[in-house]
Structure 1
Amino acid sequence: MGYLLVIMQFGILVLLAVWAVRQDFASLTQATPIVLLAGAVVMGVWAVTVNRPGNFNITPDPKPGSELVTAGPYRWIRHPMYTSVLLFALACVTVIGHPLAWIAWVILLAVLWGKARMEEQYLLDTHEAYQIYMVGKRRFIPWIL
């Protein structure tokens, strides 16, 4: 199931990215998509830099011997890499401006929500401290979602 969610995630991302690039170039330079894209890059790079190399996985199951990371963006949200993906996709959607793009984004949110739930179950089974870590932290957006 984890691999299916990864395939769906990347399929939707590629679809939105290609669709956005095919739009009028001027729409790519508007402030909203640039700010969202910058937020996606900052969040993604920040999350990767607080992880040690090889500590994270694109599938929802943790790598053997992985460490529980609670620093950086993980202090506020449990899945900052997924937040980065959602921000990138939202930047694409704002460029596309079509209702079907919004539907694709909502489907992506559902896919990442499912991945996060699977990952959290694995983390609860793997790291005793994860249940305590989860308290007061949302999945994707601090204090909201």
Structure 2
Amino acid sequence: MEFMLDLAVSVVSLLVVGFYTWSLRGHFYSPKMATGAKLISAVVIATTLFFLYLAWYEHQVAWVQIVGLVIEICAAALFWWAVSASRKARLRFAFDPDHPDSIVTTGPYRYLRHPFYTSYLMFWSGWAIASSSTWAVVPVIAFVIIYVSAALGEEKKFSKSPLAPEYEAYRRKTGFLIPRFDQR
């Protein structure tokens, strides 16, 4: 049973990391990758290797692995929902210095402003939970800092763009990284 759960967590996790890697060229668009986006890529590689090590060389609790796996699958579903909703928007990489030229308000964007970052944080948290290691919290904290910084930077760019009034109205009725369902 432990081998099968280790295998399932590893395969699903690598598949989701593959989705995220695909999005760098298949969904997001920027003339060049900003330093912050390169940092994210390096942290993703290091964390993937670290979590794979934990999966195969440390003992995990079966029910905890299952909970983590379910969270990872939910994160992947949110990711693809966000891809579907923003396909035509030509979103930029994290930390891209250019101002945004559109606002996406459909799909998960109806409830939260940064569904990609939310899906990434859910995924890394799910994998950390599945690893059953307190050390797994360290990279998750790093990802929280990186993704919150990226999201705040994007919000600042919106506030200085011609889209500022429209974005401010959108911001007031949606959640930042946690969905807001009361659409006042």
- Of residues 42, 45, 62, the one that matches 1:14 is 45
The superposition leaves residues 18-53 of structure 1 with CA deviations (integer Å, 9 ceiling, x where unpaired) of 222232398597311221111111111000101134
Could you state the TM-score of these two structures normalised by the residue count of structure 1? Answer: 0.82
Asked which structure has the greater RCO (Cα within 8 Å, sep 6+), the reply is 1
Residue 113 of structure 1 is matched in structure 2 by 148
Distance between the aligned counterparts of 2:43 and 2:35, measured in 1?
12
Distance between the aligned counterparts of 1:62 and 1:75, measured in 2?
25
Aligned length: 142
Superposed displacement of residue 121, structure 1: 1.1
Distance between the aligned counterparts of 2:61 and 2:134, measured in 1?
18
What is the correspondence of 1:19-38 to structure 2 with a 5 Å cutoff?
Answer: 19-22=50-53, 23-24=55-56, 27=60, 30-38=65-73
Distance between the aligned counterparts of 2:115 and 2:157, measured in 1?
17
Residue 87 of structure 1 is matched in structure 2 by 122
Partners of 2:100 and 2:157 within 8 A in 1: no
Partners of 1:17 and 1:89 within 8 A in 2: no
Unaligned runs of 5+ in 1: none
Partners of 2:60 and 2:132 within 8 A in 1: no
Superposed displacement of residue 64, structure 1: 6.8
Is residue 2:78 matched to residue 1:47? Answer: no
Larger Rg: 2
Residue 136 of structure 1 is matched in structure 2 by 173
Partners of 1:19 and 1:96 within 8 A in 2: no
Letter aligned with residue 35 of structure 2:
L
Distance between the aligned counterparts of 1:102 and 1:4, measured in 2?
24
Partners of 2:82 and 2:107 within 8 A in 1: yes
Distance 1:58 1:17, change over 3 A: same
Distance between the aligned counterparts of 1:62 and 1:52, measured in 2?
20
Letter aligned with residue 130 of structure 1:
Y
Residue 69 of structure 1 is matched in structure 2 by 104
SS at match of 1:51: helix
**Identity rate of aligned residues, in percent?**
22
Partners of 2:69 and 2:130 within 8 A in 1: no
Distance between the aligned counterparts of 2:127 and 2:115, measured in 1?
19
Partners of 1:20 and 1:95 within 8 A in 2: no
